[in-house]
């Protein structure tokens, strides 16, 4: 009879009749609370409650669900303990869970106990240096224990490397955890401009390799979507047109649709049209897709300003460092050209600089075409191809006006000095007739800038060092106002703090202590343009504004282009930063309300101004102790003349009156606000997102009065087509 029933079931399945639907899963624990609830902890490894992701000094933890998980790295790998569940009834044939961390049986594991006996156990995957903190699905078949009571025990008894365990989302289920496929491939012929990749923010990272006719051309990690993506990244296929491509993913669940979702196309793919996304900055440069940070290689050549930048084309967060590339003819409107430098066997592409080699000192020019040279850090060990390689300094060049770049065949040009040496900035020093490279180097836990000299841009000799600056150096002269022919050299690092001093072609001699640059927040790693024509004479800088764009397929933006100068103060020459004049072409018809005397209780002179994107200019002479307030789409800018202090959304900065006057410039974009005061001595950049319903502005005196020579609000146009 039993055989007859089985055969009948098989025949019914063959006729296409539906099988019984799986019963709903039963959640045992998701660890989303602030404590462990009914679970009992011993020792210290599991902390006071579930971790919220990665713990201090731990590699990035991924693959867990929600916001919380069990993570026994609390206190580091030396801590130990156990975490035991309350009893539960086993009501499904499978118990599924996410697990990662150490792979030591009996020491970093999760056990199932039935009737006090260990009947199942699982560990993480890692036992050696390296590895990943990613959690993956495992399951136990527990059919034989249906109806009985079980207890889970999560154990951390290990104290060495990988001496911890990560667990999340434990469920009873009718189905087992999906199995894994290794090195899964899909083949294409490159027929369109782009290959689109589905991205799910927060998904476990997968390594993707692009092989072109058997040769590895691209290799990167990506939060690959197994089903519907949050957004689409892309690979530029133009260099491989007509060739056979193989996309290989290191590991995919058997139910993943990631490879099936890959497709080619000729126009960017996304839910919103490019540059029309809700949080897209409208007059600050941002990358089309993915993460952006440090500006790199700012250089002017053949009528174009070149902006290179640290770029992860495949993720919303930092990683996979490439050099992205955009150009502009007016410092306002930008065209993104794609990636200029890709990671290679020496490392990922960290920050650096660019020059135009008009004299052909490097010997890389083409006839009638001076080369643009890029100097960059190859960050060894930051990608799979460069495991075991150190950080070194390298060279790439272009002889087609910066449209394509070739890496110098004898890279690196500066070997590794200490771990993490990086960010070469190269300039021409006319007085000593040599090229100078400044480079960040940490020695004996001291942050330093090393100076090197070269005649041919390929061979570099150590000259000297200056201590006290961290990352992304820049070095250039600025004219001292009122003293014809005199200039001071400015040395700065990523924080924008600076020293003024003298340079003799070998040694920088400071004439000032380290001074603050910007006075805001989240402005970092700024760089100035090389090779701006002498007829222009300006020193123009762009910085990275750390202004997130949550929910968008891109993240972060650049600052406004800033003109740098020196001005005389009672303390000596000091740096000023002011928005470049070219930005005025974005202005619409102003709401102007000056000249006027403004007193407390007066009508709002800017009441007619309503809109999204704004530039506000004010020049006024305040009475002693007067306080002026400007509210702009919810942002609050206050100038206190008594304390000569500027406040932007509660962030305070000194802003002295200049000959009794104050001059303000305010730029408000979708994710940023930048405020300039005191003729540029005060620059306050901040991330800020106005609410959609906040459209107006209000100008008033909180106390005292002021005479306004200028008070105007300009609606601004978008820089994007």
Best mean pLDDT range from 474-478, 482-486, 533-537: 474-478
**Could you give the CA distance from residue 78 to residue 74 in angstroms, rounded to a whole number?**
9
Task: Kindly report the average pLDDT of the chain as a whole number.
Answer: 95
Using alpha carbons, select from 625, 598, 631 the residue that is nearest to residue 705.
Answer: 598
**Could you give the CA distance from residue 635 to residue 640 in angstroms, rounded to a whole number?**
16
CA-CA-CA-CA dihedral for 462, 466, 472, 475, to nearest 10: -80
Residue 16 pLDDT > 60? no
**Could you give the CA distance from residue 680 to residue 665 in angstroms, rounded to a whole number?**
9
Residue 236 pLDDT > 70? yes
* Cα 609–Cα 613–Cα 616 angle in degrees, nearest 5: 60
Environment class of residue 129 by beta-carbon count within 10 Å: exposed (0-12), middle (13-18) or buried (19+)? exposed
Q: How confident is the model at residue 2 (pLDDT cuts 50, 70, 90)?
A: very low
pLDDT at 346: 98
pLDDT at 128: 87
Mean pLDDT (whole number) for 478-482: 95
644-681: pLDDT as tens digits: 999 999 999 999 999 999 999 999 999 999 999 999 99
For residue 71, give Cα distances in angstroms to 41, 103, 115.
12, 14, 27
Q: How confident is the model at residue 95 (pLDDT cuts 50, 70, 90)?
A: very high
Q: How confident is the model at residue 19 (pLDDT cuts 50, 70, 90)?
A: low
Residue 66 pLDDT > 80? yes
Mean pLDDT (whole number) for 381-400: 96
CB 22 within 8 A of CB 41: no
**Could you give the CA distance from residue 533 to residue 473 in angstroms, rounded to a whole number?**
22
Q: How many CA atoms lie within 13 A of 636 on its CB side?
A: 10
> Which tokens hold the place of 440?
């960040």
**Could you give the CA distance from residue 134 to residue 98 in angstroms, rounded to a whole number?**
9
Helices (H), 488-647: none
pLDDT at 18: 57
Mean pLDDT (whole number) for 234-238: 96
**Could you give the CA distance from residue 177 to residue 314 in angstroms, rounded to a whole number?**
28
CB 297 within 8 A of CB 352: yes
pLDDT at 15: 45
Peptide bond before residue 667 is cis, with ω within 30 degrees of 0: no
682-711: pLDDT as tens digits: 999 999 999 989 999 999 999 999 999 999
The yes-or-no answer on residue 294 being catalytic is yes
pLDDT at 204: 83
How do strand 290-301 and strand 554-555 relate by DSSP bridges?
parallel
pLDDT at 4: 39
Q: How confident is the model at residue 632 (pLDDT cuts 50, 70, 90)?
A: very high
Mean pLDDT (whole number) for 332-357: 98
Tokens 């899909």 sit at which residue?
186
SS3 state at 702: strand
23-59: pLDDT as tens digits: 999 999 999 999 999 999 999 999 999 999 999 999 9
**Could you give the CA distance from residue 212 to residue 218 in angstroms, rounded to a whole number?**
9
**Could you give the CA distance from residue 379 to residue 71 in angstroms, rounded to a whole number?**
30
Using alpha carbons, select from 179, 164, 243 the residue that is nearest to residue 211.
Answer: 243
Q: How confident is the model at residue 516 (pLDDT cuts 50, 70, 90)?
A: very high
Residue 721 pLDDT > 90? no
What is the reported pTM? 0.88
User: With left for phi above 0 and alpha for psi between -120 and 50, is residue 619 left, alpha or beta?
Assistant: beta
**Could you give the CA distance from residue 329 to residue 183 in angstroms, rounded to a whole number?**
45
240-272: pLDDT as tens digits: 999 999 999 999 999 999 999 999 999 999 888
**Could you give the CA distance from residue 370 to residue 356 in angstroms, rounded to a whole number?**
7
Using alpha carbons, select from 164, 168, 272, 291 the residue that is nearest to residue 223.
Answer: 291
Mean pLDDT (whole number) for 282-307: 98
pLDDT at 647: 98
Q: How confident is the model at residue 380 (pLDDT cuts 50, 70, 90)?
A: very high
- Rounded to 5 degrees, φ, ψ at 478 are -135, 140
Residue 201 pLDDT > 60? yes
Active-site choice (156, 294, 357, 361): 294
Q: Is the dihedral of CA 46, 49, 53, 54 positive or negative?
A: negative
Proportion of the chain above pLDDT 70, given as a percent: 97
617-627: pLDDT as tens digits: 999 999 999 99
Tokens 């009893």 sit at which residue?
87
**DSSP readout, 623-668?**
PTT-EEEEEETTEEEEEETTTTEEEETTEEEE---BTTBEEEEEEE
pLDDT at 203: 84
SS3 state at 205: coil
**Could you give the CA distance from residue 107 to residue 97 in angstroms, rounded to a whole number?**
18
């Amino acid at each position: 009879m039993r055989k007859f029933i089985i055969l009948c079931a098989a025949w019914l399945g063959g006729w296409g009749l539906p099988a019984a639907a799986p019963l709903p899963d039963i959640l045992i624990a998701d660890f989303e609370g602030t404590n462990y609830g009914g679970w009992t902890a011993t020792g210290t490894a599991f902390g006071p409650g579930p971790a919220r992701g990665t713990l201090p000094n731990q590699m990035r933890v991924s693959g867990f669900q929600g916001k919380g998980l069990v993570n026994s790295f609390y206190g580091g790998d030396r801590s130990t303990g156990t975490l035991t569940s309350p009893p539960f009834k086993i009501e499904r044939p499978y118990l599924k869970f996410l697990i990662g961390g150490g792979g030591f049986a009996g020491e970093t594991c999760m056990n199932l106990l039935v009737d006090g006996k260990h009947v199942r156990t699982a560990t993480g995957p890692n036992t050696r240096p390296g590895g990943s903190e990613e959690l993956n699905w495992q399951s136990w078949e527990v059919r034989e224990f249906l109806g009985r009571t079980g207890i889970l025990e999560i154990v951390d008894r290990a104290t060495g490397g990988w001496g911890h365990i990560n667990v999340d989302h434990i469920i009873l289920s009718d189905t087992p955890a999906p199995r894994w496929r290794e090195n899964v491939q899909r083949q294409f012929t490159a027929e369109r401009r782009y290959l689109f990749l589905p991205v799910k923010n927060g998904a476990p990272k997968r390594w993707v390799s692009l092989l072109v006719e058997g040769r590895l051309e691209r290799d990167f990690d990506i939060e690959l979507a197994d089903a519907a993506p949050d957004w689409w990244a892309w690979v530029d296929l133009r260099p491989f047109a007509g060739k056979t491509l193989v996309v290989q993913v290191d590991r995919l669940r058997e139910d993943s649709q990631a490879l099936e979702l890959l497709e080619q196309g000729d126009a960017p793919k996304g839910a919103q049209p490019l540059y029309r996304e809700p949080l897209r900055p409208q007059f600050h440069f941002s990358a089309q897709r993915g993460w952006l940070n440090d500006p790199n290689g700012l250089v002017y050549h053949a009528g174009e300003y070149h902006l290179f930048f640290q770029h992860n084309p495949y993720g919303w967060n930092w990683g996979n460092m490439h050099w992205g590339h955009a150009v502009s003819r007016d410092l306002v409107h930008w065209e993104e050209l794609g990636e200029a430098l890709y990671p290679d066997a020496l490392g990922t592409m960290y920050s650096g600089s660019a020059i135009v080699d008009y004299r052909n000192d490097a010997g890389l020019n083409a006839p009638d075409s001076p080369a643009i040279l890029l100097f960059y850090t190859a960050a060894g060990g930051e990608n799979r191809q460069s495991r075991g390689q150190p950080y070194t300094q390298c060279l790439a060049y272009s002889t087609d006006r910066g449209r394509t770049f070739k890496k110098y065949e004898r890279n690196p040009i500066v070997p590794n000095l200490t771990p993490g040496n990086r960010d070469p900035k190269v300039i021409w020093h006319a007085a000593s007739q040599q090229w100078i490279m400044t480079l960040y180097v940490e020695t004996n836990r001291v942050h330093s800038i090393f100076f090197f000299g070269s005649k041919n841009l390929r061979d570099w000799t150590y000259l000297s060092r200056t201590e006290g600056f961290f990352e992304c150096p820049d070095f250039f002269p600025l004219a001292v106002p009122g003293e014809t022919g005199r200039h001071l050299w400015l040395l700065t690092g990523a924080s924008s703090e600076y020293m003024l001093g003298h340079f003799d072609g070998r040694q920088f001699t400071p004439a000032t202590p380290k001074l603050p640059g910007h006075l805001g927040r989240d402005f970092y790693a700024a760089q100035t343009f090389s090779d701006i024509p002498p007829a222009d004479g300006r020193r123009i800088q762009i910085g990275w504004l750390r202004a997130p764009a949550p929910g968008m397929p891109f993240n972060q933006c650049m600052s406004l282009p800033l003109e740098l100068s020196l001005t005389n103060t009672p303390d000596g020459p000091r740096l000023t930063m002011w928005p470049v004049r070219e930005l005025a072409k974005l202005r619409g018809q102003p709401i102007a309300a000056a000249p006027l005397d403004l007193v407390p209780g007066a009508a709002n002179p800017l009441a007619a101004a309503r809109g999204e994107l704004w530039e506000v200019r004010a020049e006024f002479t305040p009475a002693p102790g007067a306080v002026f307030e400007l509210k702009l789409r919810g942002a609050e800018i206050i100038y206190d003349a008594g304390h000569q202090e500027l406040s932007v959304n509660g962030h305070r900065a000194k802003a002295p009156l200049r000959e009794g006057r104050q001059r303000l410039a305010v730029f408000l974009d979708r994710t940023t606000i930048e405020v300039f005061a005191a003729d540029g001595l005060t620059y306050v950049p901040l991330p800020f997102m106005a609410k959609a319903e906040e459209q107006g502005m209000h100008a008033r005196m909180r106390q005292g009065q002021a005479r306004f020579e200028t008070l105007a609000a300009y609606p601004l146009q978008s820089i994007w087509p």
